[in-house]
Chain A
């Protein structure tokens, strides 16, 4: 302890105190302050840049999502339009078919009606002709048959029989 105290040099203590105070002052002013400030600036800069990058990434994600949504919508719209078109086409075809059918039926009906009419007219003609013919035939037959009395009587009798039987 005594040698330690003997080794302690008050002069060196004073000199080193002055030098160290000066060193601390100079270092703080010319080195540590600018260094620490720049380091902090840089660190906050890095933090900001990271945050900005994160934001950009999120925005990018949103954009892609948006794009995908838009594409999906467009696809759906296209599908809907195509479906509509198909429907319209089908409907048009169906309508055309129906129309055609109607027209033909009508045509057939008219044709049938006119045929019927023609047929009726022809039948009536035929009937008239037949009646005239049969009247003529009957006239000539009757003219021939009723030349003798007996035959006339027989005929009357025959007709009467039929009448009574009825």
Chain B
């Protein structure tokens, strides 16, 4: 009963937020497309563009869009845009771009002009009043700014971070009064034990694992919950952002580079037990492996898996529109439903798997750096 009440409360709040936001966030933009159908996403090209747009970070939190009276309406939240420009810090709300993403809406702030092209904000050069593109669709009279905006991914990180903090600090508090946690914390406890006993301890070793378990636990739950959040209709693609996976990979790199012991560096730079002439060659290979290939494999694996998952799920949903002519409405919808249902199931597995692999490999790399070798 209590849970049901809480759920109802949550839904109410969500609904209220939705409608109030819709009233001020719903705007319209006149798409400069040839098809005059009010910007509906219903051709193959539009679907492709839509998917590619989705997997990128976005400056506003759009929940859904619809077309009425030939006008495209977007429902969602505007998010703050924070830019470090040639004139210093500039901030405004993303709603000022009116959901335009091809550089046609120019926002003027502090005497500077900004345009958004493919989810990137450009600062127009002095004197330019509209953006010009070269033949590869790169702006010629504008340059990128350092963009510290609270984008959709940042919102995702904040939300999930707070959620994790809430969940696990409650679990931590429960131990003060009882030996065995109750409620939702009881679900979390075995997961913590799983990460500690199956990922951290066997890969790092009994002696050193305690120091790194905090990092590994945070990374594991961060990636996993964000992966799962990406499968909800909220449509986060945080772990499919190179910047985020790169950041995580660099954390792992820094941790195992800083905590590497003498043996680790010895084996990397001046490998014992091989002819002296080969040692420099090996050193180059080892250094490249440790400093470039390992973090690169970490960041690309997570990014590629999650982005690919989003692309596949969305493409299968798009079957509804793209195969409408050949299969009919019912056939296309049915096929799309069945396929996207099963792919989503697989994606739920992938969400866990990628979190597991990232954490496991991080633990493995750290374990290699702190391992104490027997001297032969």
Contacts and interface: CB of A to CB of B under 8 A. Distances in A.
Interface of A: 4, 6-17, 19-20, 22-24, 26-28, 30-36, 38-39, 42, 45
A28 B172 CA distance: 11
Scoring B149, B169, B171 by chain A CB atoms within 10 A of each residue's CB, the highest score goes to B169
Contacts, number: 118
B16 interface: no
A9 B57 contact: yes
Contacts of A35: 168, 171-172, 175, 189, 192
Given A16-B247, A38-B175, 19 more contacts: A6-B120, A11-B146, A15-B150, A16-B244, A19-B161, A23-B164, A24-B214, A26-B165, A28-B215, A30-B165, A31-B171, A32-B214, A33-B172, A35-B168, A35-B172, A36-B210, A39-B189, A39-B192, A45-B179
7 contacts: A9-B120, A9-B241, A10-B146, A11-B147, A15-B154, A24-B251, A35-B171
A26 B172 CA distance: 13
A7 B193 contact: no
B217 interface: yes
Interface of B: 56-57, 84, 120, 146-151, 153-154, 157-158, 161, 164-165, 168-169, 171-173, 175, 179, 189, 192-193, 196, 210, 213-215, 217-218, 222, 241-244, 246-248, 250-251
A131 B8 CA distance: 157
Contacts of B243: 8-10, 12-13, 16
Given A20-B222, A31-B172, A32-B213, A12 B153 contact: yes
B164 A27 contact: yes
Given A30-B172, A31-B168, A36-B210, A16 B157 contact: yes
A12 B151 contact: yes
Contacts of B210: 36
Contacts of A39: 189, 192-193, 196
